[in-house]
Structure 1
Amino acid sequence: MDSEKHQRYQAAMVSIYCPETSFLNHLVMPDGTEQSYSSDILKRLHSGEVFIVNSRKRNGLILFKRYHAEFAGPGAAVGGDYDCDCQRVLSIGNLSLLPPESNEERQKAYLIRRQWIRLIRQITENPIPQQRVQKILDQFEQYFTPEMVDDLPDATFALLVGVLPQTVGMIRRLGNDENCRLNY
C-alpha cells in the first residue's frame, strides 16, 4: 500500500517537472516575449575557435549545457573544446567576443573562466535554495545593472544555481516587496 502511494507520488512529480526542463527550446523573458538566440554566437562557439569575453565592457555570456548553465563573464574564455556541448547561449549586455592575441592571453582567459565557475560553485554549495538564488541575483547586480538582471528569465538563474525556476520567481517577487523579506 505504501509503495503504491510512493509510486503515484513519483509519477506526479515527474509529470509536473518534465515540461519545465524543455525550456531550452524557448525562454520566455519577464516581459512576455520569447528570447531568440543568436545562432551566430553558437556557431562561433562550435567552430572550435577560442574567444575571450571583452573585459573592458559590461557583458557576459550564459552558456546552456544539457543539465545546467555556466556564466562566462568579462575576461573569460569561451569556445574551443570546452564549450562544444553548449546547446544555447544568452548574451548579457552588449556582448563583445575577441580572439586571443597570444597563448598567454588565452591561458589567462581560461583562468578567468575557471574563477567564474568557482564563484558559481561556491554559491551552489549553499544547501538552502532561496539563499542560492538571492546570492546569484546579488552577484549579477554587482556586475550588471538591475535592469539587465531583471530582463533575464527565472529559468536562467535556476540552471545556474540548481533550483527550480519557481524558486527564482518567488525570491524576485519577495525581493521587490520591502515588507516581505526571507529570514536566513
Structure 2
Amino acid sequence: MHILIINSSILLMLKHQKISSTIQDQLSVQSLQDGQLRSIVNHQHMGVILQKKYYAEYIGPGAAIGGHLDMECVNIYVLGEVEYDVPENNEKRYGAFQKRIKNIEQLQEICEISSPIYRGIAVLEMLIQQFSLEEIQRVPNNLLAMLVGVVPATIAAAWQKLLAKQGNVEGSPSIQLSGMPLNNVISFQI
C-alpha cells in the first residue's frame, strides 16, 4: 500500500522509499488526472479543496479523489496534513465513493440556502467544525466562494458576520483576489 503525506512544502511516499520529491512533482493536478483512484486517509483534520474551472469541491477524510472524478481539476488547496492511499479492493473503493458523495451532498445542502450571505456563513461554519479557525482564514475567499456559488466579497461579509457573532472581529480576513500566490496550493494549470 502506498500512502502519500502532504503538508505545505513536502510530499512523503511511504513504503521504504526516500524523501526525494516535492508536492508539485508527486501530487499535482496531473497526478489527479492520471486515472488512478485515491482516497484521503480517514483521519480528522485533513481534506482538500479542488478547484475546477467554474466551481470548487471540498473532499474530506475517507473520500475518493482522482480517477475519473477530478479530470477537470485546475488547483488543489490542502487543509491540514493530508495523507492519501489507493483503495485496494471494491469494498474500500465503494466506501471512498460513498464519502465523496456525502461531501457533495453536504455542500449541495448549503448551496440550496437562498441567501448568499447565509450560504457563505454555512460553508465557513462547516469548515471551522473540521479545521481551526486560523487555518480556514488562510483559505482564499475566491476559493471559498467557489464552493457555494457566491462572490468573494460575500465570503468577506460572511467572515465579518461570523466573527462578530463569535466576538472576534479583529481577526477578520480581507478579500483575497484570485491570482495572488497561495501558500497551500499544490499546483496550478490553465
* TM-score, scaled relative to structure 2: 0.71
Which amino acid counterpart does residue 114 of structure 1 have in structure 2?
I
**1:106 aligned residue:** 93
Q: State the distance in 2 between where 1:165 and 1:132 align.
A: 12
Q: Is the 8 A contact 2:44 2:130 kept in 1?
A: no
Corresponding residue to 2:154 among 167, 172, 183: 167
- Radius of gyration: which is bigger? 1
Aligned residues, how many?
Answer: 145
More strand by share: 2
**2:58 aligned residue:** 71
Of all paired residues, the percent bearing the same amino acid is 30
Q: Relative contact order: is structure 1 or structure 2 higher (C-alpha 8 Å, sep ≥ 6)?
A: 2
Report the CA distance between 1:170 and its aligned residue. Answer: 1.4
**2:128 aligned residue:** 141
Report the CA distance between 1:146 and its aligned residue. Answer: 1.0
Corresponding residue to 2:39 among 47, 52, 77: 52
More helix by share: 1
**1:157 aligned residue:** 144
Q: State the distance in 1 between where 2:143 and 2:151 align.
A: 10
Q: Is the 8 A contact 1:133 1:171 kept in 2?
A: yes
Q: Deviations over 1:69-114 (max 9, x none)?
A: 0111001000001111111111111111111121110111001100
Q: Where does structure 1 lack aligned partners over 5 or more consecutive residues? A: 1-36
**2:82 aligned residue:** 95
Which amino acid counterpart does residue 90 of structure 1 have in structure 2?
Y
Q: Is the 8 A contact 1:38 1:89 kept in 2?
A: no
* TM-score, scaled relative to structure 1: 0.74
**2:111 aligned residue:** 124
Report the CA distance between 1:43 and its aligned residue. Answer: 2.3
Distance 1:76 1:180, change over 3 A: closer
Q: Deviations over 1:125-156 (max 9, x none)?
A: 01100110111111101111111111111111
- RMSD of aligned Cα (Å): 2.0
